[in-house]
């Protein structure tokens, strides 16, 4: 039997300014209304499909901030503001930012939105009604199509197409807040019904091996250039793991079994912390498996089974994703017709099953659970519904959660030494190595040293420090298209210095990437 495990990873960086409770970026809210809820609820139609959803605690914390009114979202505030009261600065912000959604798959299928986009491109003047329609359409189109179709008020507003009212806009914005409130209860419900497993990532999504020592990057790839000063704080890696486990227990009422290390970044140094936290399994990329075993070619017999990491602290199961199959869904099938894409995937599964002659194997799909779908037609619903239907009907495939599989199929092969690396090229080059990323790490090390030298730092100061250890600031350093992550990283650093009563360094006034 081919056991198929899906692990969908849900993540956003920590956007909120801890000193002002403001967020300049809306992506927690917008992905919340587009991706996090419907990805679970779609399973109601397919009771035989089991999946694992990986959640990042700092993402769910930010969702709770919206639910509890603890964050002021600049995009939301400007969406609420009556169109006839918008200042010139407001209008410029809206024109710049309220077309931030997929043009081909979304804007182009809403005639009025498409018209407004053309007006902007041709520098044509916007009327008050134009701004009102834009405020509404930006927020309406980010709501998942299933909610737009199944909610009568939203369906009627969408059918109206244009000449929206302030009351229409209020309905859309209130619906967004309502969807956000449903997310965590839905995950709890589907977990309770045993249709999904929920795994967890270290709290603020740090690259654990790099927290233990940035020098590990050179072991993963000896061509990597290292920062001038080593970042070497393994205690922070432990804290990020332990706080994630604590949050999970508070929200889901049980101890997590699985962990997706941020960016599937692993090393020997992080294993004791994970084992001691009580985690039973982790997932990473297939390239780490083959590096660890010094395999010279891709051996699927090794890939399609769990492995065991026995260490003096205890033992830990490790699962390796099939990168090819995961990337087909994540990056390739968006360019194909839904039927052709599903046919192609099922052909791959049939070939795998044929190769193993019906033996019991575990094929793991581990991928981003949110960003892929906006590149599919209808936000991926047409693909996923056909996909789940075909998998349900296939006699040789059974979907499973990771813990369910391990319970019945304990790992038999052991990995003596785990090679360091991530799910991107089996190294850490996406987060360290170029001059801008090196500077970001050097700034972080200086800040970490400063809080270490501070007498009795507050809990909020430590929270800010751990936020700064998140992977996204380093991912985007030197590659930030509009500078928003650069600004946010410098804002978080500035706030840290304020929280420990130190003058922020002057270099934080200038962009990391000139």
What single string gives the DSSP state of each residue in 307-356? EEEEETTEEEEEEEE-HHHHHIIIIIGGGS-HHHHHHHHHHHHHHHHHHT
pTM: 0.97
> What are the residues whose beta carbons fall under 8 Å from the beta carbon of 379, sequence distance 6 or more?
34, 38, 105, 144, 145, 373
Q: What angle do CA 206, 208, 212 make, to 5 degrees?
A: 125
Residue 250 lies in a domain: yes
Residue 184 lies in a domain: no
**pLDDT per position as a tens digit, 249-264:** 999 999 999 999 999 9
- Helix%, strand%, coil% for the chain, nearest 5: 55, 10, 35
| 3-class SS string, 156-216 | HHHHHCCCCCHHHHHHHHHHHHHHHHHHHHHHHHHHHCCCEEEEECCCCCECHHHHHCCCH
> What are the residues whose beta carbons fall under 8 Å from the beta carbon of 471, sequence distance 6 or more?
205, 206, 207, 262, 263, 265, 431
Cα–Cα nearest to 340, from 300, 377, 392, 369:
377
- Residues 357 and 1: beta-carbon distance below 8 Å: no
Confidence of residue 514 (pLDDT cuts 50, 70, 90): confident
DSSP conformation class of 109: G
**pLDDT per position as a tens digit, 49-58:** 999 999 999 9
For residue 451 the two structure tokens come to 């809080």
Burial 243-255 (b: 16+ CB within 10 A, else e): bbbebbeebbeee
Residue 389 lies in a domain: no
Could you give the angle at which helices 166-192 and 152-160 cross, rounded to 10 degrees?
Answer: 140
Residue 409 lies in a domain: no
Query: What's the mean pLDDT in 414-431?
Result: 98
Residue 402 lies in a domain: no
**pLDDT per position as a tens digit, 84-124:** 999 999 999 999 999 999 999 999 999 999 999 999 999 99
**pLDDT per position as a tens digit, 312-344:** 999 999 999 999 999 999 999 999 999 999 999
C-alpha dihedral over 315, 266, 295, 356, to 10 degrees? 70
> What are the residues whose beta carbons fall under 8 Å from the beta carbon of 278, sequence distance 6 or more?
245, 255
Please check the confidence at residue 175 and state whether its pLDDT lies above 90: yes
Q: Hey, how many other C-beta atoms are within 10 angstroms of the C-beta on 385?
A: 16
Cα–Cα nearest to 205, from 473, 512, 478:
473
Residue 168 lies in a domain: no
- How far is Cα 364 from Cα 374, in angstroms, rounded to an integer? 23
Could you give the angle at which helices 338-355 and 381-393 cross, rounded to 10 degrees?
Answer: 30
Question: Which residue do the tokens 């994970």 mark?
Answer: 274
| 3-class SS string, 256-292 | CCEECCHHHCECHHHHHHHHHCCCCEEEEEHHHHHHH
**pLDDT per position as a tens digit, 441-500:** 999 999 999 999 999 999 999 999 999 999 999 999 999 999 999 999 999 999 999 999
> What are the residues whose beta carbons fall under 8 Å from the beta carbon of 490, sequence distance 6 or more?
508, 511, 512
How many structural domains are present in the chain? 1
Integer-rounded Cα radius of gyration of the chain: 23
Let me know how long the chain is: 514
**pLDDT per position as a tens digit, 10-31:** 999 999 999 999 999 999 999 9
pLDDT of residue 364: 98
Q: Hey, how many other C-beta atoms are within 10 angstroms of the C-beta on 260?
A: 28
Confidence of residue 392 (pLDDT cuts 50, 70, 90): very high
pLDDT of residue 314: 98
Domain membership of residue 502 as a residue range: 201-293+416-509
Confidence of residue 513 (pLDDT cuts 50, 70, 90): confident
Question: Which residue do the tokens 């017999």 mark?
Answer: 301
Q: Is 72 helix (H, G, I), strand (E, B) or coil?
A: strand
Confidence of residue 358 (pLDDT cuts 50, 70, 90): confident
Q: Hey, how many other C-beta atoms are within 10 angstroms of the C-beta on 381?
A: 18
Residue 344 lies in a domain: no
Confidence of residue 440 (pLDDT cuts 50, 70, 90): very high
DSSP H or E segment with residue 76: helix 74-80
Mean pLDDT score across all residues of the chain: 97
Residue 329 lies in a domain: no
Strand pairing report for 196-200 and 281-285: unpaired
């Amino acid at each position: 039997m081919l056991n198929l495990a899906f692990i969908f990873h849900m993540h956003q960086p920590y956007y909120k300014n801890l000193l002002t409770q403001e967020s300049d970026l809306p992506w927690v809210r917008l992905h919340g209304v587009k991706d996090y809820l419907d990805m679970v609820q779609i399973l109601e139609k397919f009771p035989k499909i089991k999946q694992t959803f990986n959640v990042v605690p700092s993402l769910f914390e930010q969702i709770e901030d919206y639910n509890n009114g603890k964050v002021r979202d600049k995009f939301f505030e400007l969406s609420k503001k009556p169109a006839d009261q918008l200042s010139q600065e407001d209008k410029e912000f809206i024109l710049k930012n309220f077309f931030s959604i997929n043009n081909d798959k979304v804007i182009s299928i809403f005639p009025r939105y498409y018209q407004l986009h053309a007006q902007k491109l041709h520098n044509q003047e916007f009327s008050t009604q134009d701004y009102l329609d834009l405020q509404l359409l930006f927020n309406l189109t980010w709501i998942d199509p299933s909610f737009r179709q199944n909610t009568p008020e939203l369906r009627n507003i969408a059918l109206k197409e244009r000449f929206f009212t302030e009351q229409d806009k209020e309905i859309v914005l209130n619906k967004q807040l309502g969807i956000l409130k449903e997310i965590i209860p839905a995950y709890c419900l589907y977990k309770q019904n045993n249709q999904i497993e929920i795994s967890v990532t270290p709290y603020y999504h740090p690259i654990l091996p790099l927290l233990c020592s940035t020098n590990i990057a050179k072991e993963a790839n000896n061509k990597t250039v290292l920062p001038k000063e080593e970042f070497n704080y393994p205690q922070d890696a432990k804290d990020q793991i332990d706080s994630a486990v604590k949050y999970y227990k508070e929200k889901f009422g049980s101890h997590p079994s699985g962990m997706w290390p941020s960016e599937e970044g692993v090393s020997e140094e992080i294993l004791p912390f994970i084992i001691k936290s009580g985690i039973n399994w982790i997932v990473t990329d297939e390239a780490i498996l083959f590096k660890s075993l010094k395999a010279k070619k891709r051996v699927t017999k090794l890939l399609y089974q769990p492995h065991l990491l026995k260490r003096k602290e205890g033992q830990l199961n490790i699962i390796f994703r099939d990168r090819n199959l995961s990337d087909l869904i994540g990056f390739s099938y968006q360019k194909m017709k839904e039927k052709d894409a599903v046919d192609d995937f099922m052909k791959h599964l049939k070939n795998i099953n044929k190769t193993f002659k019906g033996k019991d194997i575990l094929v793991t799909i581990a991928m981003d659970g949110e960003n892929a779908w906006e590149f599919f037609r209808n936000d991926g619903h047409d693909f996923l519904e056909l996909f789940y239907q075909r998998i349900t009907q296939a006699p040789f495939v059974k979907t499973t959660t990771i813990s369910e599989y391990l319970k019945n199929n304990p790992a038999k092969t052991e990995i003596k030494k785990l090679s360091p690396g991530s799910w991107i090229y089996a190294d850490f080059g996406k987060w360290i190595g170029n001059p801008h990323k090196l500077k970001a790490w050097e700034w972080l090390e200086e800040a970490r040293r400063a809080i270490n030298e501070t007498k009795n730092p507050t809990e909020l100061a430590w929270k800010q420090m751990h936020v700064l250890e998140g992977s996204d600031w380093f991912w985007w350093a030197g590659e930030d298209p509009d500078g928003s992550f650069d600004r946010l990283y410098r804002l978080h650093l500035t706030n840290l210095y304020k929280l420990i009563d130190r003058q922020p360094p002057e270099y934080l006034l200038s962009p990391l990437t000139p």
